Structure formats: C-alpha cells, structure tokens
Amino acid sequence: MASPTDEPRGDKDRAWHEWMGVAVGLTGLLAIMATVVSVVALASTNSSTTTVTQAAAPAATASATKATQAALPAPQTLKLSMKADDEHGRLGPDKQWHDAVLPGNFTVHAGSTVTVTVANYDGGPHTITAPMLGVNQVIPSGSDAHPKIVSFKFTAPSAAGKYQWWCAVPCDPWAMKHNGFMRGTVTVIS
C-alpha cells in the first residue's frame, strides 16, 4: 500500500521518466535532423559544384578556341627577286635602270608569320633591313645563272600600318633613296 509520501515521489519519477523520454526523443530527432541537414548540405554542395563545372567548362573552351583562331592569321609567303641595274632591275622615272627588289612594296596580314624567299641575281650583296619588323637579313651575291636563294621569317606586327624596309649595303645610290627599288613600304593590313 502506498504511503501518502510515496505518491508525490511516484509522480516525480513518472515526470522524470516522461521528461527523459521526451529528452531522448528530442535528442534522437535532433541527431536525425542534423544528419539530414548535413547530407542535404553535402548533396547541394556537390550538385552546385558539378553544375558550375559543367556550365563553365564548355563555354570557356569555346571562347578560348575562338580567341586562338582569331589570334592566328594564316601564314604567308612572299617571293622577292633582287636584280641589278645592268640586269634591268627596274626602270626608274629618270629613264634609267636601277638596282631593285621586285616587288619592292608589299602587303602582309597583321600578326601573321611571313616566310620571305629572296632570289638575288645580282653579283653584289644586299640586305632587307626593317627594324620595326625585327628583320635585318643579308642576301649574299648571286648571278643570273645561279641566283642566291635566301629564306627567312618574320612575324608581322599586330597593328595595321606602313613600315619601311631598306637595303643597308651601299649599292645603287638612287635606288637606295626611292621606294620600290632598294627600299620600300611593307603595308600591314588587319
């Protein structure tokens, strides 16, 4: 038989047990919620990372490819001949034949790699000198029967404009002063 003093204790015990039950239940719920939250967070982190990677990679590759194509114009080749006055290099407006590079004025595309092949039919050497193009090429002497063939490359400037080349070896004084003879204009077009 329960004593009157037992009853409050029994209530206390019941209350304690109930509270413990709620506490354990709450803890378990919190643990589950924490797990769910972290799994969702992990999943969303993964999925957002994957989405960014998939979205950015093809776009970046496409634009990089476009930029590469735009930055690389087709390579060019130029064939030039060098002839002396006595080989009828080029007739000047003074009605005299002069030493000349043929053609003496030429056009290249901005940024392109230009391969120049020069055939020197003259018995004396000349140069193709153009500091702005990074060119200072000696073309040794050749002959009508055996022209001296020299090939060299330069990269055309990225800026369109007109650049001068000249022959730095003293040769035909008149030709050295006139464009289209032993000096000339390199026109860079974009």
Residues at the site binding Cu ion, with contacts judged by CB under 5 A: 126, 167, 169, 171, 182
Nearest-angstrom CA–CA distance, 55 and 149: 54
Q: Output the smallest distance, CB 169 to Cu ion, in A.
A: 5
Q: Output the smallest distance, CB 109 to Cu ion, in A.
A: 27
Q: Which residue, 102 or 169, has its beta carbon nearer to Cu ion?
A: 169
Nearest-angstrom CA–CA distance, 91 and 16: 119
Q: Which residue, 76 or 185, has its beta carbon nearer to Cu ion?
A: 185
Closest residue to Cu ion in the complex (CB): 167
Q: Output the smallest distance, CB 111 to Cu ion, in A.
A: 29
Nearest-angstrom CA–CA distance, 12 and 58: 68
DSSP per position, 36-54: HHHHHHHHHHHHHHHHHHH
Nearest-angstrom CA–CA distance, 72 and 63: 14
Q: Which residue, 107 or 129, has its beta carbon nearer to Cu ion?
A: 129
- Whether residue 111 contacts residue 158, with contact meaning beta carbons closer than 8 Å, is answered with yes
Asked whether the bond before 125 is cis by omega within 30 degrees of 0, the reply is no
Q: Output the smallest distance, CB 172 to Cu ion, in A.
A: 7
Q: Which residue, 133 or 183, has its beta carbon nearer to Cu ion?
A: 183
Q: Output the smallest distance, CB 167 to Cu ion, in A.
A: 3
Q: Which residue, 61 or 143, has its beta carbon nearer to Cu ion?
A: 143
What residues are paired with 183 via a beta bridge? 166, 179
